[in-house]
Amino acid sequence: MTYQVRLQSPENLVSEKTTTKSRAVADYAFCDLLHRYVGRSVAAAMTQREGSSKPINIMYIELTGTCTYHCQRCDYSGAFIDDGTTCPNCKLVQ
């Protein structure tokens, strides 16, 4: 299984990409993109691929105009993961 995390512009240009076999590394890379680019005209995406199959989209968040949330534990403000229920900084489900 291979995971790919990428930051893409509205023109589908990829400016940052992480490819790894570790889901934990992919999750960290995805959360890092959310922290650094929230509010900009980009999207963060994570896909998984097994062998030569087509990639499956795991998470996709458009960071432009993203509804921002405020974490009660770590004071992070920005996009949340898992359909807006989990802080990407401290992983608190809210």
The predicted structure's pLDDT at residue 35: 82
The Cα-based distances of 48 to 41, 65, 67, 87 in angstroms read 24, 26, 25, 22
The pLDDT tens digits of the residues spanning 36-77 come to: 888 888 999 999 999 888 999 998 888 876 567 888 888 888
Q: What is the pTM of this model?
A: 0.72
More confident residue, 72 or 26: 26
The predicted structure's pLDDT at residue 24: 94
pLDDT, mean of residues 7-25:
91
CA distance 56 to 35: 23
Asked whether the predicted pLDDT for residue 5 surpasses 70, the reply is yes
CA atoms in the 13 A half-sphere facing the CB of 4: 14
